[in-house]
Amino acid sequence: MQCNFKKRTCVDKKNKTKKTTPDSLPSSPFCFNQKKKKRSNPSTMAAVTPPKPSFSTTPTPFHHHRTTFLPRFTLPISSNPKKRHPFLRISNVISTTTTTNIPPSPEPFISRYSPDQPRKGSDVLVEALEREGVTDVFAYPGGASMEIHQALTRSHTIRNVLPRHEQGGVFAAEGYARASGRPGVCIATSGPGATNLVSGLADAMLDSIPIVAITGQVPRRMIGTDAFQETPIVEVTRSITKHNYLVLDVEDIPRIVREAFYLASSGRPGPVLIDVPKDIQQQLVVPKWDEPMSLSGYLSRLPKPPNDSHLEQIIRLISESKKPVLYVGGGCLDSSDELRRFVELTGIPVASTLMGLGSYPASDDLCLQMLGMHGTVYANYAVDKSDLLLAFGVRFDDRVTGKLEAFASRAKIVHIDIDSAEIGKNKQPHVSICGDIKIALKGLNKILDEKREIANLDFSNWRKELDEQKLNHPLGFKTFGDAIPPQYAIQVLDELTGGNAIISTGVGQHQMWAAQFYKYNRPRQWLTSGGLGAMGFGLPAAIGAAVARPDAVVVDIDGDGSFMMNVQELATIRVENLPVKILLLNNQHLGMVVQWEDRFYKANRAHTYLGNPSKESEIFPNMLKFAEACDIPAARVSQVGDLRAAIQKMLDTPGPYLLDVIVPHQEHVLPMIPAGGGFMDVITEGDGRTKY
């Protein structure tokens, strides 16, 4: 074998094959595109001085005659250095001699197989999932994943909830993870099955949701040959996953699965993909369950506990401020108790992002509800007038900040986040801590408990000022005669469920109204596609939530546009008999786009009407027929006087139920700060009946 080190190309004369590796790897953790500062990814986290590659004349056992072998699969390739490919040990986690041992489970796992009994790679994969505590997966079969599904039928602990589309499966896995806090698992076949997961993976990446996606792949010898249903899903998803793997050695499966679950749920959570060729699934092996994880670089870069001096500096800033505000996001969902204690000790009012709803009780007097483009006037007022902004578990998203220069322009900013890439990315803080917000809040609370007399905090005048804003600018809505205001429908649902339901949504006006008018008092009640804004999310996410939390009332508040994008999942709900309630706010339009057309395009309709133009007086399509086709009880309500009884019937009916609520398309989501605007640009009046 000849090796050209300059071009990093190895040519095996005997087998006439060529292997090419990239000239260099990204140096920054979590960053694939170095031009764009983005979240960290462990793909390069282990890039501490990688070992020099060693080359051997021993050919690999699955060379193909094609000379451009694996051109699109250069990274990541997992391999076992003790077994194969000593000269091609390329991985998204660059291997080093240091490995990390994870403490064994307190209760020993009882396998269906004897320790020395060979079994298929697919059975090893399923048992690895069992060892991670997985009890539910959302898997749709295909040619390249059949072996995995056969193995699932041999599992006594894992239940497969069969979606009717792979996108439904990945969104359901997200709903499962969002509602439970545990990683959700979805499985798809190669090619189009794998690419149908892309939107869900991107959504999980942007919203920091822990999911593990497993895809079948064509056999190893066919990779790179444009085989039937072959797509390089590792390459396709590299920038929208926290990490991904292409398994090329069956013995790596136990380690890879352990690493995948650890990566998905540690640090800043996110999606991890495992691509498993079909011949790997079929290969017999005696698994080694005690193989250590190889994540030393990633572990070394996980944030350390915050320094006490930094926490004391934050306390000093709080004691010096007159108008402090907490700006909390999705990073605080697992720190709700600590956050409530911090607010109790300081008396600082709390504004939440869309993703952070529920981390602090909405019914509390100090809650300012949501801030941002469609946030409350008083939440945005508080940020605009504040002299200290405590940004905890947030990323200064553009839908929150609007015009960056005008956002919190009077305030000193304290930013605490677990992802170092987010610190200073959009807004430069005065004090920053890269660390776990739960640990940081515990430290802050400890200092406050010990130094109450020193802190001497009194923000009563500030709270009175904000209470006046609440009185002057409450959330409200217009009436349309006997028609049903969509906001009122959500208010009634909130009353009848006592604010205790798990709510999922699609994306659009109904999503914003659900954020504004349902009061979330606990974390993980609110499931929505925030960063990606993926229509079609609500129904499958409700499926995942119902599987994860069978004790809870789960309601999908959806719009007709979003609902239609994954309407096939009604079949899954019926077959699994999941008690998902669907409150469908049907305005026959793409409501949010219509609102922008009304405001900024002189109400010119550009393909935003979803009904039948030849029969505008009729509701089209008939959503009740979709429900009937799937044997799901359904009803329609169009008069405001009938609404409460209709929602009560929906909640009282056992099992799934669809309520088609006809609402006027002229209603707008208000308040609204136009994109790129500041607080002074806020819009509080008007609807589709007004000319602009």
The answer to whether residue 62 is catalytic is: no
Query: What is the token pair recorded at 594?
Result: 């219509």
The answer to whether residue 229 is catalytic is: yes
Please pick, among 293, 592, 623, 650, the residue that the annotation labels catalytic: 592
Rounded to whole angstroms, the Cα distance separating 333 from 357 reads: 8
Give per-residue burial for 375-411: e unless 16+ CB within 10 Å, then b: bbbbbbbbbbbbbbbbbbbbbbbebbbbbeeebbeeb
In this structure, the dihedral spanned by the alpha carbons of residues 417, 179, 342 and 321, taken in order and rounded to 10 degrees, is 50
**Distances, alpha carbon 3 to alpha carbons 9, 55, 57, 87, 453, in Å:** 6, 8, 11, 11, 71
Handedness of CA 392, 353, 330, 477 (dihedral sign): positive
Phi-psi region of 428 (alpha: psi -120 to 50; beta: other; left: phi over 0): beta
Helices 198-207 & 166-180 angle (0-180, nearest 10): 20
Please pick, among 150, 229, 313, 568, the residue that the annotation labels catalytic: 229
* Helix, strand, coil fractions of the chain, as percent rounded to 5: 35, 15, 50
Residue that the structure tokens 């529920």 belong to: 358
Which neighbouring-strand residues pair with 138? 186
**H/E run at residue 378:** helix 377-385
Query: What is the token pair recorded at 679?
Result: 């607080």
* 322 class by beta-carbon count within 10 Å (0-12 exposed, 13-18 middle, 19+ buried): exposed
Query: What is the token pair recorded at 570?
Result: 């009604």
The answer to whether residue 228 is catalytic is: yes
3-class state of residue 440 by DSSP: helix
Please pick, among 7, 228, 320, 322, the residue that the annotation labels catalytic: 228
DSSP letter at 227? -
The answer to whether residue 592 is catalytic is: yes
Neighbours of 215 (CB within 10 A): 29
The answer to whether residue 166 is catalytic is: yes
Which neighbouring-strand residues pair with 414? 390, 431
Neighbours of 557 (CB within 10 A): 30
Query: What is the token pair recorded at 494?
Result: 């909130």
Rounded to whole angstroms, the Cα distance separating 584 from 586 reads: 6
Contact present, 407 and 386 (Cβ < 8 Å)? no
Q: Which amino acid is at 389?
A: L
Handedness of CA 152, 155, 161, 167 (dihedral sign): negative
Cα of 143 vs its chain's centroid, Å: 28
Q: Which residues are catalytic?
A: 166, 228-229, 278, 592
